[in-house]
Structure 1
Amino acid sequence: MDPRHGKMRMNVEGDRLSSLPDDLIHKILAFLPIKDAIETSVLSSRWRFIWTSMPYLNLSSEDFYTLPKFSKFVTHVLSRRNNLTEVYSLKLTFRGKASQVFVKRILNYAFSHNVQQLNVVWLDVNSNMTFPLSLFSSKSLNSLTMQIVKRNHLMETCLTSISELPTLTTLDLHSVTLCDDEDDKCSGIFSKCANLKNLTLRDFATESDGLSIFHPRLANLTLENDNFVKVVNVVAPQLENLTIRYCYAEHVISSPHLASFLYEGYHPLNLSTDGFHSLEKADVGISCLQGTNAHPIVCLLQHLRSAKFLTLNLETVETLSSSLDLNLHQPSPFVNLKSLKIYPLTTYSWNPASKKVAISTELKSYLLDGSPGATFTMVLREEIEARKLIAKLGVLLEKEKDNTKTSSACVERGEAPVESHKPKTEKKLKIGGNVAQIKGYWEDLGVQIEQRNKTRLTMSLVK
């Protein structure tokens, strides 16, 4: 047999990547900056032109020392790319003004090649700037993500004058100031996206004191914000999923078909609605409740009265249970409830009374009496701590198990154990230390189980 044949066979088998079809190689190269993807052209004739037909472009000025060099590189890439290949997705990361020539050139090229997904990251904005959304003019774009990375948190980056984007279904904006020449509530920015279904606003601000979102087709809305906005007004008749995180404006929501509501924040949400009559799931997690007035929490729960699956954090329940001036003798509003789950956000409590009773009789009646058949699940802090101890115990036991197997194998082969060169006293101390640690975990676990049993006994007496 010719030895060269065997060597050639090994090389072919070793280069399985080259045998993949172009579309799979394109997806792999999509995880790399385009500069690195181009460098694969030197590997072989198979790779020489693969990058020119990539439908995924990842262009970043961070890969170059100066913007002029990046601009020159962009010209090189776009001029040598297969002009018949459409651009499916583009990620553009750049510094400087949005009006720079290379920014417009890249966007115009992508739009002329029917780009569908666009992700823009504007880095290190160091002064008040405006990004004209009129740059985004496309009849193919269905997903747009834009993130502003500011040097100074006080700087404003305004988005204005969005063009008609008839196919856009997903819009994700991060760290922007929304403004509209025609409407001081900024509602016009979204109304020009006729088919918008998914909207996410993170760390947003407005030039006025409010934000209005009016959209007939919006289905999913996420608001995450710690900037000052006084009022957020949402009118979305087709909205199904609403997520609000750390956004403390007054929220006026008109969405009769809302099915899922999630709120996370340090304080109770100020919410006004005309009723969530189709609500299936509601999840409320309020993490900073020391000294919080319990009445706003009850008001929030009233808006969620149609929920079938309700999840509350333990800290919220403790606040309501310990409130002395809260009247919960009114009938339970939860008449559709199928499941109530309570879980702790943290494994410590600022409220010493919570160690004695986690949920009062009045509160439990208020939550469950309207739906006697609902299941009730409550996860206690002691249970979480016990799970952590069991996990640590399992790791230690596995280590001891491995050490035992290694020693047994050495004995079977007639070899000395790996650690035989160490003094026996040192080995005994090591094993003894592990055993003592395991014993300590068992003792801690016993305490956790005892505390949990006491808590369950208290809860059964409350029932």
Structure 2
Amino acid sequence: MVQGDGDRKEDKDRLSDLPDFVLLHIMKFMSTKHAVQTCVLSSRWKELWKCLSNLALNSSDFTNLVHFSKFVYRVLSSRDGSISLHSLDLRRKGCIEHELLDWIMGYAVSHDLERLTIEVNLNVKLGFKLHPCIFSCNSLTFLKLSIWAVPWMTELPNSLQLPALKSLHLEHATFTASDNDCAEPFSACRKLNTLVLDRCNLHRDAKFLCISNPNLLNLTIGSTIQEVTYRIVISTPNLRCLTVMRDPIHQLTTCNLSFLEQVNIDVEAFFHPQIEKSHLALISLLKELADYVKIMILSSSTLKILNVLSTPDSTITQIPCFVQLKSLKLKMKSSSNISDEEVSRIGEYLLQKSPVAKVDILKC
């Protein structure tokens, strides 16, 4: 059956007849570039994008940095300033100017931003610091910063003053010590429940990173690129889940983790001379957590280290007693080249002083 002109007109206008809040919800799932491009559809759409409260700015949508920077300036300058920002996601493969990044942060904070993700590279002078307003924003509930600044990593203030922050992800960050050679940046974030640290360093002769927070529930600690390792002191009485990944050469010290339920260890040993240090650090980590952990999950790369340690020729034989361990889960990849017999031996090696725990081998 052939459609009449009236039917075609009705189909054409059906989307545009939806309320603004419905259209804006649909545009929320687009990149900001595509959302702005809807302005050419009709007069109905011309100004609608200016009311967006979720912005996704990705340089992969543009041919070069100049076009990307101009677009960012245009969007933020033309947007309806009376509308608060809910989320801003900025991703740039390659370097951007730090002036642009500072301007974006200043705009975001002044519009009550709740969620901020920034993944960029910066080509800046030594000692570059981010705009301080982002570290004292009252509205932020989620913050992810992955900023590689050449030739130096991004330096953070001594203390983060973010009263509403619930989730914090930091990569390539440098922490500074206030006194006593100890950096303690998170204690003022009273609502923080999730913290992820990866490739983070200490600055100016600091020797300790203290993770002190009464409400933290989930903590992930990654590797460092510092040649000299530093000690991490975990003082989080309500911590439920701890994940340690990549290089285990950090020295961990814990204080009262009585609520700790689960530990995930996904580390790997590097080539000599670091490999022996990785072995010792892994055993040290297990000893530090032995009094608290109830569920322990070990990755294939972690099992490779333990496979070496559990052999009769190993000089490292002091395995801790996991006094509260109920479940040990060993994750096996087909590419790990560890036999079932070796996995069984690793399980027996770990639980030689903890016979009540259940062992599960998970193949993935």
Both structures adopt the same fold (TM-score exceeding 0.5) = yes
Residue 363 (structure 2) pairs with residue 377 (structure 1) = no
C-alpha distance in structure 2 between counterparts of 1:106 and 1:302, whole Å: 42
User: What's 2:187 paired with?
Assistant: 191
After TM superposition, give the deviation of residue 252 of structure 1 in Å: 0.9
Show structure 1 runs of 5+ residues with no match: 269-287, 388-463
User: What's 2:230 paired with?
Assistant: 230
Q: Which range moves more in the overlay, 104-113 or 203-212?
A: 104-113
After TM superposition, give the deviation of residue 198 of structure 1 in Å: 1.6
Identity of aligned residues (%): 26
User: What's 2:268 paired with?
Assistant: 266
Note closer, same or farther for the CA distance 1:11–1:317 as it changes in structure 2 (3 Å cut). farther
- 1:27-426 paired onto structure 2 within 5 Å: 27-59=25-57, 63=62, 73-74=71-72, 76-93=74-91, 95-98=95-98, 100=99, 102-125=100-123, 127-136=125-134, 137-150=136-149, 155-160=152-157, 164-180=161-177, 184-187=181-184, 189-207=185-203, 208-228=206-226, 229-245=229-245, 246-254=247-255, 255-267=257-269, 297=283, 300=286, 303-304=289-290, 306-312=292-298, 313=300, 314-315=303-304, 318-324=307-313, 333-334=321-322, 336-345=324-333, 347=335, 349=337, 359-360=344-345, 364=348, 367=351, 370-372=354-356, 374-378=357-361
CA RMSD of aligned residues (A): 4.1
C-alpha distance in structure 2 between counterparts of 1:71 and 1:299, whole Å: 45
After TM superposition, give the deviation of residue 46 of structure 1 in Å: 2.5
Preserved contact between residue 249 and residue 281 of structure 2 (Cα < 8 Å)? no
C-alpha distance in structure 2 between counterparts of 1:329 and 1:219, whole Å: 30
Larger helix fraction of residues: 1
| SS across alignment from 1:297 | helix
TM-score normalized with structure 2 length = 0.76
C-alpha distance in structure 2 between counterparts of 1:306 and 1:85, whole Å: 47
Note closer, same or farther for the CA distance 1:164–1:301 as it changes in structure 2 (3 Å cut). closer
1:64-87 C-alpha deviation (Å, 9 max, x unpaired): 7565x7666555434433333221
Preserved contact between residue 160 and residue 180 of structure 1 (Cα < 8 Å)? no
Preserved contact between residue 250 and residue 281 of structure 2 (Cα < 8 Å)? no
Note closer, same or farther for the CA distance 1:311–1:8 as it changes in structure 2 (3 Å cut). same
Preserved contact between residue 168 and residue 195 of structure 1 (Cα < 8 Å)? yes
| SS across alignment from 1:242 | strand
User: What's 1:434 paired with?
Assistant: none
Preserved contact between residue 93 and residue 120 of structure 1 (Cα < 8 Å)? yes
Show structure 2 runs of 5+ residues with no match: none
Which structure has more RCO (C-alpha within 8 Å, separation ≥ 6)? 2
Larger strand fraction of residues: 2
| SS across alignment from 2:321 | coil
After TM superposition, give the deviation of residue 328 of structure 1 in Å: 7.6
C-alpha distance in structure 2 between counterparts of 1:42 and 1:132, whole Å: 37
Preserved contact between residue 338 and residue 371 of structure 1 (Cα < 8 Å)? no
Preserved contact between residue 86 and residue 115 of structure 1 (Cα < 8 Å)? yes
Instruction: Work out the number of aligned pairs and report it.
Output: 348
After TM superposition, give the deviation of residue 365 of structure 1 in Å: 8.2
After TM superposition, give the deviation of residue 231 of structure 1 in Å: 1.3
Note closer, same or farther for the CA distance 1:295–1:78 as it changes in structure 2 (3 Å cut). closer
One-letter amino acid of the counterpart of residue 360, structure 2: T
TM-score normalized with structure 1 length = 0.62
One-letter amino acid of the counterpart of residue 190, structure 2: A
Preserved contact between residue 292 and residue 323 of structure 2 (Cα < 8 Å)? yes
After TM superposition, give the deviation of residue 371 of structure 1 in Å: 4.4
One-letter amino acid of the counterpart of residue 312, structure 2: S
Note closer, same or farther for the CA distance 1:17–1:149 as it changes in structure 2 (3 Å cut). farther
Preserved contact between residue 328 and residue 363 of structure 1 (Cα < 8 Å)? no
